């Protein structure tokens, strides 16, 4: 069964809502330019998560910034900038999800140094934006990454209407959804969340051609 990560969580009510659906990972944005930035609320929000793994998204953090987030209770750090392997090693490779923004042609050699991290996250490239574009990319690139034995979190424009198609094409370890479940940035829509889990429950596994 594919794992589910919901990112861009900003509200206590949304943590309660999502944990009622047994979400596997909850993501919190610590990038000040994001409309989903949680800032000083991070400690409170992490404390309220009871079941899901807590993922904090950082963009080009210092070792000190990463350590502070871990000390607040994060289980995993998602590196969503131009980080090198050195900072990931200092954090602990087993606690790092490394995000790559995908555009074509995609250089798969970029992934090779990151083989030992917790997971690779593939998101859509858009100039000047680290993530959260709400747009999809060529899922065949993600499928090839999975076939090359990477643990892949698939992000980028997923929503209740296209998630099953994406899963059947890519077969990722996890899906990562943010804007596709929102009524506005940082505010999750209960009806969209319900629709997502109904779609996942009814999913039919289709064989690869």
- The size of the chain, in residues, is 209
Split into its structural domains, the chain has a count of 1
User: Tell me, what CATH number does 94's domain have?
Assistant: 3.20.20.70
Q: Over 50: is that where the pLDDT of 43 sits?
A: yes
What is the pTM (predicted TM-score) of this model?
Answer: 0.93
Task: Give the model confidence (pLDDT) of 134-186 as tens digits.
Answer: 689 999 999 999 999 999 999 999 999 999 999 999 999 999 999 999 999 99
| Strand 3-6, strand 174-177: pairing | parallel
Is residue 52 assigned to a domain?
yes
Is residue 85 assigned to a domain?
yes
Residue 7 is among the residues annotated as catalytic for this protein = yes
Is residue 209 assigned to a domain?
no
The single residue of 7, 24, 71, 189 carrying the catalytic annotation is 7
**Domain enclosing residue 55, as ranges:** 3-202
- What are the helix and strand counts (H, E) for the chain? 7, 10
Contact 43, 20 (CB under 8 A): no
Query: How is residue 25 annotated by DSSP?
Result: E
Task: Give the model confidence (pLDDT) of 70-95 as tens digits.
Answer: 999 999 999 999 999 999 999 999 99
Residue 123 is among the residues annotated as catalytic for this protein = yes
Is residue 92 assigned to a domain?
yes
The single residue of 75, 123, 149, 189 carrying the catalytic annotation is 123
Contact 158, 180 (CB under 8 A): yes
What is the widest separation between alpha-carbon atoms in the chain? 48
Which residues are CB-neighbours of 174 under 8 A, at least 6 positions away? 2, 3, 4, 5, 24, 25, 119, 152, 153, 154
Is residue 58 assigned to a domain?
yes
Q: Percent of the chain, pLDDT > 70?
A: 92
Is residue 171 assigned to a domain?
yes
Instruction: Establish how many alpha carbons lie within 13 A of residue 180's alpha carbon, considering only the half-sphere containing its beta carbon.
Output: 23
Is residue 9 assigned to a domain?
yes
Is residue 40 assigned to a domain?
yes
Query: How is residue 90 annotated by DSSP?
Result: H
Rg (alpha carbons) of the chain, rounded to whole number? 16
Residue 112 to residue 59: CA distance in whole angstroms: 20
Tokens (6 digits) for 171: 């077969």
Give the residue among 132, 116, 139, 148 at the shortest CA–CA distance from 57: 132
CA distances in angstroms from 120 to 18, 78, 112, 181, 187, listed in the order given: 23, 9, 11, 22, 26
For 54-64, what is the mean pLDDT? 97
């Amino acid at each position: 069964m594919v794992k589910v990560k919901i990112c861009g969580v900003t509200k206590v009510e949304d943590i309660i809502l999502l944990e009622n659906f047994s979400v596997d990972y909850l993501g919190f944005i610590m990038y000040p330019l994001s409309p989903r930035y949680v800032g000083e609320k991070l400690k409170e929000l992490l404390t309220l998560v009871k079941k899901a793994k807590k993922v904090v998204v950082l963009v080009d953090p210092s070792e000190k910034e990463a350590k502070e987030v871990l000390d607040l209770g994060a289980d995993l750090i998602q590196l969503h900038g131009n980080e090198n392997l050195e900072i990931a090693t200092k954090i602990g490779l087993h606690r790092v999800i490394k995000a790559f923004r995908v555009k074509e042609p995609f250089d798969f050699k970029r992934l090779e140094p990151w083989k030992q991290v917790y997971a690779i996250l593939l998101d859509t490239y858009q100039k000047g934006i680290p993530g959260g574009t709400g747009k999809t990319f060529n899922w065949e690139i993600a499928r090839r990454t999975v076939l090359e034995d990477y643990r892949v979190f698939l992000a980028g424009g997923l929503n209740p209407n296209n998630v099953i198609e994406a899963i059947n094409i890519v077969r990722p370890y996890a899906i990562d959804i943010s804007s596709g479940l929102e009524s506005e940035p940082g505010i999750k829509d209960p009806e969209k969340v319900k629709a997502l889990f109904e779609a996942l429950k009814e999913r039919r596994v289709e064989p690869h051609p």
